[in-house]
Amino acid sequence: MFAVGFACLGAALATDGTPDFKNYHYYNGFAAHHDRSALDIFPAQLQTAFFNGLDAVYYPLFVALDGYPTALNVLLSLPYALAAFLVFLMARLVLPVGFPLRDPACAAAAILGLTGAGALPTMATTMSDLVPGVPLLAALTAWLYLERGGRNTVRSAFLVGAAAGLSVGLKMTLAPLFVGLLCAAASRQAFGVKGALAQAMALGMGGLIAYITLDAHWLLANYRAYGNPLFPLMNNVFRSDLVDHGVWTDLRFMPRNTLMALLYPAYWAFRPSHLTIELDMRDARILVGLASAVLVLLAHLASRLRARGTRGSGGDIVGLQLALVFLVAYFLWERVWSIYRYLSVAECLVGVLLLIALTTIIGKRVPRGWVVAAYFGGVGVILATTQYPWWSRAQRTGHVVTVRMPPIEPDAMVVLLDPYAYSYLVPSLPESVRVVGANNNLVRPGSWGVLERRIEDAIRHHGGPLWGMEYPEAFPGIADATLKHHGLERGASCALVETNIEDHPLVRLCRLRRGS
């Protein structure tokens, strides 16, 4: 049922045209299959250096199904169905057999989790954190099932950690959830679980090995090319001289003060906000998840005190583990990024946490029918009040990507003159064309570092035709400054690039010449 439902939803959506698809996902997948390292210079801005393992999978799918955009979206919806089923299984752990409307309640937990403002708008796009997050959700589900039965071992912990580490290797924004799982595993030592620390160490080791196995080639290639395995991130540590020795982390969405940090989810739970995202959104899921996790944790600690530290029931253990995973993951997310869509996988757990909180706090004091009514009412309110940040999508043309531009000569150079996302156009150019990002979020005219000098030398010594791409309506005057810095001028011929990835033609392609 999840597969059919999400497939229908995927079929109703247009294909990927999101900002990150345009900026780097499509190009990075293309570059993974057509080595561009010796030709292009950061056409996908700083994201050119990001891990491209998942993009290398996406790109051949986009090419193979170019004439079947609906089939592509249906295929990309399947991870959402699998994630929903895993959440459904987690919910069944906390509701006993015989609980009123047990399976519908578990299904509601899955639907609530997979339709959050972080996950749903990125469905069937390369921006989605849910696709790389599926192994981590599977690992968490397995861990909770084993924990409920008291069957976790060092071996099982290693395998769980390896699955979770695979997600982190695919996308590092999932690291907070991995750390949350690691902390939850280690915390069991405080409640008398024998071997908890050894299992936590095995879990961490499994995750580390999986991450290194998946990302080692990328890390080494970055180190050899840039002197920083995570280039340009953490350049204050690795100090590559290509660019400034800064952190290079997007801090636009961080809380502005301590009070805001403490109440951050409330800022977007009750009214539209773009504090943690580029578009307006409203979603109470994270606030409800945090409140539920805190209540579950307090109730568990109170129960432990009354029972003098004896091992609780399976449901209690599952609730404690899930609450700790969620709380640790949220704290690290807020501390490091505060970018809402990086909470997509954590959103999946909110419905289960709400179930645990209701059954733990009020389930022992009121009839189960009231608990069920309160739960479905809460789910309904959250769903009804969610305002989604719908990202841009491609126009429906019968193809996944269509591009029409003036013919560019082989061995030409295309200079990207302002910070717009142009790299998705590179696969449509002749293979020998060199693309240079001359003004973007990594380097600009006059920047400190070796990279700017390399760009200047590449443009100065290029002997073939020169072209420039610009979006003057969005970045007025930026292209002019770039041209002036490099001693270039626009020629007589300029044309708009037509593509279904944009709502209307906006990228201008101009023939360039050396200044007189």
Local confidence pLDDT in tens for the 516 residues of the chain: 999 999 999 999 999 999 999 999 999 999 999 999 999 999 999 999 999 999 999 999 999 999 999 999 999 999 999 999 999 999 999 998 889 999 999 999 999 999 999 999 999 999 999 999 999 999 999 999 999 988 999 999 999 999 999 999 999 999 999 999 999 999 999 888 899 999 999 999 999 999 999 999 999 999 999 999 999 999 999 999 999 999 999 999 999 999 999 999 999 999 999 999 999 999 999 999 999 999 999 988 888 777 764 555 445 788 999 999 999 999 999 999 999 999 999 999 999 999 999 988 876 678 888 999 999 999 999 999 999 999 999 999 999 999 999 999 999 999 999 999 999 999 999 999 999 999 999 999 999 999 999 999 999 999 999 999 999 999 999 999 999 999 999 998 899 999 999 999 999 999 999 987
Taking alpha carbons only, the member of 292, 256, 244 closest to residue 112 is 292
Helix, coil or strand: residue 229:
coil
Phi, psi dihedral angles at 41 (to 5 degrees): -125, 95
Distance CA 265, CA 286 (A): 6
Quote the CA–CA distance of 499 and 511 in Å, as a whole number. 19
Burial label for 387, CB within 10 Å (0-12, 13-18, 19+), is: middle
Contact (CB, 8 A) for 186 and 197: yes
**Phi then psi dihedrals of residue 282, to 5 deg:** -145, 130
436: three-class secondary structure by DSSP: strand
Model pTM greater than 0.85? Answer: yes
Q: What is the pLDDT of residue 314?
A: 47
User: Nearest CA to 485 among 452, 457, 512, 445?
Assistant: 445
Q: Which residues pair with 16 in a beta bridge?
A: 393
Pair 264, 338: CB distance under 8 Å: yes
CB under 8 Å to 122, separation ≥6 — which residues? Answer: 18, 128, 129, 130, 341, 344, 391
* DSSP 3-state of 413: strand
Residues 427 and 408: their CA atoms lie apart, in Å, by: 13
Cα 482 to Cα 42: distance, rounded to the nearest angstrom: 16
The Cα angle at residue 19 between residues 13 and 21, in degrees rounded to 5? 75
What b-and-e string marks burial along 426-437, b requiring 16 or more CB atoms within 10 Å of the CB?
bbbbeeebbbbb
Helices (H), 275-386: 285-307, 314-336, 344-347, 350-361, 368-385
CA–CA separation, 358 and 391 (whole Å) = 34
Kind and range of the H or E run holding 460: helix 450-461
- C-alpha span between 257 and 51 (Å, rounded): 32
Residue closest to 471 by CA, chosen among 439, 447, 514, 432: 439
H-state helical runs in 171-255: 175-187, 196-226, 235-238
The DSSP code for 231 is T
Find how far residue 419's CA is from the centre of its chain: 21
Strand partners, 415: 436, 468
Let me know: does 108 contact 439? Beta carbons within 8 Å. no
Q: How far apart are CA 68 and CA 400, in angstroms?
A: 7
